[in-house]
Amino acid sequence: MNHFFRLLFALILMSLDLFAAGKTNVIIFLADDMGYGDCGAFNPQSQIKTPHINRLAKEGMSFVDAHSASVTCTPSRYGLLTGINPMRTGVFNTLLKTGRPIIDVDEMTIADLFKSEDYQTWMVGKWHLGFQVKSKARDLTQALQGGPLDRGFDYFYGLASSASSSPLYFIRGKRVEKLPTLHVETDKFLASGKKLTVKNQLPQGLKLENISPKLCADAVGLIEQYAKSAREKPFFLYYASIAPHQPWVPSDKFKDKSGLGIYADFVMQIDDELGQINQALKNADLDDNTLLIFTSDNGTGPGAHHLMAEKGHYSSGELRGLKASSYEGGHRVPFIAKWPGKIEADSKNQSIINGTDCFATFAELLGVDLKAKHSQVTPDSFSFYKGLLDKAYEYKGLPMVVRNSIRMGDWKLISTRGKKPFDSLQMNDFELYNLSSDLAERDDLKSSHPERVQEMHKSLKSFMDQRELKASK
C-alpha cells in the first residue's frame, strides 16, 4: 500500500510539473529612460556597446515601431501594467502627489491576469505608481499599502520610485527593509548639460552604485530558485530596472568602461543585467519555455540626450525629441521579444505596437477572452500575439494616442504645445507628419493636407471626450 501511495504521489508531482511546463513563463525587462538610439540593435550608429541587447535581438524579434504608453515614467508604467491608455484616465507623474495609489483597486493589472491563470507573479525593481499615504509624512515603520502586493503581485523587492528620489529605501513585500538615516550628495545633469549637486537620504551602509546590482541579483535568484523547485506553477516576472535613469551610478565593474562617460557606462551596465537574466534562463533550462521581452518606459532623459550628443552619440537615433516629448524620440522605444521555437530568431516586425498592448497579447497567449472577462481593458489594448509568431504579420492597432498626439497608419498629428491641456489647444497648435517618409518629423504637412488634419483631430477629440480623469474623482 505504501508503495502504491508513493507511486501515486510521484505521478501527481509529475502531472503538476507537466502542467507548469505546458504554460509559458513570461518576463518583462523594462529599462528606465533608455532611448531608441542607445543600443546597436535599433541604431547601427550607436557609440555604446550593448552586446547582450544585440544578442537578444539575434535570438528573437525586434519590433521597430514599438511605443511606450506615455512619455514619462509613471503613466508609461500604468499603461503597461493595466493595458489602459494613461491619457484616458489622466495619469501623469503629478498624480503621485495625491498620496493615493495610481492604479485603483478595481483596475486589473497584468499580474492579476497571470495570477488568475494560476501563475506565480513577481516584481523586482522600480514601482513608481504610488502607495496609500494618509498624511504628508509617510510612516516607514508601517506596512505600505496600495503597492505591488495589492495589485496582483505575490512578491516584490525594490524601490518606491527611482534612485534619484529621497528618501530612498528598499522594500521587501510591504515593509521597508532599513530606514533611511544617511545623507549623501549626488550629481544631477540638466538638459543644458549643467551639473547640479543634490542631496539624498538613504539607509546606512547602502551605496547608490550597489542598488542596480542588488535588484538584478534578486531577479536572477528568483529564476534560479524556481529552477530548483517542483515548478508546480509557471511564473511572470516584471523586472523594472532603475537604469539608465539618473543618478548615473555604474558599479565599479562598469565605471569608465564605455569611454563615453558615465551615462554610457550605466547603459552598458543595464545591458549586462539583461545578459544575466537571459543567461539565467539558459542555465536553468527554462529558455525554451519562456517569453522574454525587453523594452523601455520612454525615451532618453534630457541630461543624457545633451551630453551624449556632445560625444557623437544620439540617444534618440534619427528620431526627433526625447523623454517628455510627444515626438517619436519621447516614446518610440526598443522592443525585443524572444521565445525559442515560437518566435523566429533574428527577425524584425513592422507592426505598430504600444506598451498597453502587452495586456491583450498576454491574454491571447493564456487563452483568456479579454472582451468577455476584462472589458475595461479592451479600448486601449490590442493583441500583437500573431505578430510574435509571424514576422510578416503587421498588426495595426490604431489609432494610437500618446500624450497630445495621434497616430493613424503612417500619419501622425501632434500638438506643439507640450503639456498644455487638449481642450485649450487650437488647430494651429498641431503639426502633421508622414512617418514613412519623414521619421525625423521635420516636414510639417499640415497646410498641404488640411482634410487629413481635420480627420485626425476629430479622432483625437473623440478619444479625449471619452476620458474619465482620476484627478477629478
Question: Contact at 8 Å (CB) between 117 and 368?
Answer: yes
What are the cell numbers at 52?
547582450
Domain at 464, CATH number: 3.30.1120.10
CA–CA dist 49, 55 (Å, integer): 12
Residue 366 to residues 110, 117, 173, Cα–Cα distance (Å): 12, 7, 26
Helix 51-59 to helix 262-283 angle (10° resolution) is: 40
Identify whether residues 337 and 267 lie together within a single domain: yes
Residue-level pLDDT at 374: 76
Are residues 169 and 257 located together in one domain of the fold? Answer: yes
> How many separate domains does the chain show?
2
Phi then psi for residue 337, to 5 deg, are -125, 130
Do 415 and 336 lie in a common domain? no
Question: Distance between CA 180 and CA 67 in Å, rounded?
Answer: 36
How far, in Å, CA of 315 to CA of 296, rounded? 13
Check residue 11 and give its pLDDT. Answer: 40
Same domain as 382, residue 238: yes
Contact 129, 160 (CB under 8 A): no
3-state secondary structure of 131: coil
> Which CATH number does the domain housing residue 132 bear?
3.40.720.10
Q: What is the dihedral of CA 51, 35, 292, 172, to 10 degrees?
A: 110
Residue 460 lies in a domain: yes
Residues pairing with 430 in the sheet: 415
Q: Is residue 300 located within the same domain as residue 432?
A: no
Identify the pLDDT of residue 14.
40
Q: Is residue 199 part of a domain?
A: yes
304, 358: one domain: yes
Same domain for 322 and 294: yes
Tell me which residue range forms the domain holding 453. 404-473
Find, among 13, 75, 137, the residue nearest to 355 by Cα: 75
Per-residue pLDDT of the chain (473 residues; tens, 9 = 90+): 455 445 444 444 444 443 444 699 999 999 999 999 999 999 999 999 999 999 999 999 999 999 999 999 999 999 999 999 999 999 998 888 888 999 999 999 999 999 999 999 999 999 999 999 876 667 899 999 999 999 999 999 999 999 999 999 999 999 999 999 999 999 999 988 899 999 999 999 999 999 999 999 999 999 999 999 999 999 999 999 999 999 999 999 999 999 999 999 999 999 999 999 999 999 999 999 999 999 999 999 999 999 999 999 999 999 999 999 999 999 999 999 999 999 999 999 999 999 999 999 999 999 999 888 777 777 899 999 999 999 999 877 679 999 989 999 999 999 988 777 888 888 889 999 999 999 999 999 999 999 999 999 999 999 999 999 987 55
In this structure, is residue 420 part of a structural domain? Answer: yes
Q: Which three cell numbers stand for residue 201?
A: 537620504
Within this chain, do residues 235 and 86 fall inside the same structural domain, yes or no? yes
Q: Are residues 430 and 326 in the same domain?
A: no
Residue 337: left if φ>0, alpha if ψ -120 to 50, beta else—which one?
A: beta
CA angle, residues 128, 33, 407, in degrees to nearest 5:
95
In a domain, 33, yes or no: yes
Only one residue has cell 545633469, namely 189
In this structure, is residue 349 part of a structural domain? yes
Tell me: do 125 and 205 sit in the same domain. Answer: yes
Q: Is residue 99 part of a domain?
A: yes
CB 188 within 8 Å of CB 174: no
In a domain, residue 143? The reply is yes
Name the nearest CA neighbour of 224 among 280, 181, 264.
280
Q: Is residue 378 classed exposed, middle or buried when 0-12, 13-18 and 19+ CB atoms within 10 A define those classes?
A: middle
Residue that finishes a domain, picked among 400, 434, 452: 400
Q: Is residue 15 part of a domain?
A: no
Tell me whether residue 342 is exposed, middle or buried, using C-beta atoms within 10 angstroms of its C-beta: 0 to 12, 13 to 18, 19 or more.
middle
Domain final position from 400, 427, 456: 400
- For residue 82, CA distances in Å to 211, 244, 369, 397 come to 27, 24, 16, 17
Which of 339, 369, 400 is at the close of a domain?
A: 400
Considering the domain architecture, whether residues 133 and 60 belong to the same structural domain is answered as yes
Verify that 304 and 422 share a domain, yes or no.
no
φ/ψ bin of 418: left (φ > 0), alpha (ψ from -120 to 50), beta (otherwise)? left
